[in-house]
Amino acid sequence: MTDLRQTRKELRARRRNLPPHEQRHHSAAVARQLNAWMPFLKARSVAVYYSEDGEVDLSTVVFGARARGKRVYLPVLHPFAGNRLWFSEWREGDRLHLNRFSIPEPSHRVRKPVFGLALDMVLVPLVGFDSSCSRLGMGGGFYDRSFAFRQRNKFWRRPVLVGIAHELQRVAVLQNNKWDVPLDAVITERHLYRCIM
């Protein structure tokens, strides 16, 4: 557990210490990768995340998705089911409020949130990943619990789960737990790692 905590700390420091011009370059490169990828182009509903702490900024992705008529969603903490996510549509001009972790999210009072099963694609934040698309998150298990239904049906691939990261967040190997939900792909500024699709 201590090693995992240290790994998270080091990887978060790596992405946080990227100079602003590299952050912008990586974000633009990830947007280009997505916009050339058929599963993203076909998706009608896409969940993104509100970037912070050096995560790849998805503003360009959001702008392009809306321009193509896609519905864009943000994760919302489920008010009753502990450590699970709902997803609420996020339209231009919508005000966001801070959840209990100080992460901006849409108000579930404005538009009714949906479960992950209703989405075509979810762009997932991560702390670290390996080339087989194993994901190291923040440790709360929110995404794993929210998409655990994919573990029960190996042939159901909705929504497509895509990790978004800087290449410097890649590690040699991550140990998977039985509750870890695998990603279908990971996209960085350099590479598209297709893992399940």
Q: Given this model, what pLDDT does residue 101 score?
A: 85
Q: Given this model, what pLDDT does residue 1 score?
A: 45
Q: Given this model, what pLDDT does residue 139 score?
A: 80
Q: Given this model, what pLDDT does residue 25 score?
A: 97
The pTM of the full predicted model, rounded to 2 decimals, is 0.93
**Residue 54, by phi and psi: left (phi above 0), alpha (psi -120 to 50) or beta?**
left
Distance CA 190, CA 44 (A): 25
Distance CA 74, CA 61 (A): 13
pLDDT per residue, tens digit, the chain (197 aa), is 458 889 899 999 999 999 999 999 999 999 999 999 999 999 999 999 999 999 999 999 999 999 999 999 999 987 766 688 999 999 988 889 888 888 898 876 778 889 999 999 999 999 999 999 999 988 888 999 999 888 777 666 789 999 999 999 999 988 888 888 889 999 999 999 998 65
Cβ-based neighbours of 40, under 8 Å, separated by 6 or more: 34, 46, 121, 162
Backbone angles phi, psi at 151, to 5 degrees: -70, -30
**Residue 70, by phi and psi: left (phi above 0), alpha (psi -120 to 50) or beta?**
beta
Distance CA 70, CA 174 (A): 33
The domain limits of the chain are 2-194
Indicate the DSSP class of residue 175.
P
Q: 2-194 — its CATH code?
A: 3.40.50.10420
Q: Given this model, what pLDDT does residue 151 score?
A: 79
Query: How many alpha carbons lie under 13 Å from residue 159 in its C-beta half-sphere?
Result: 27
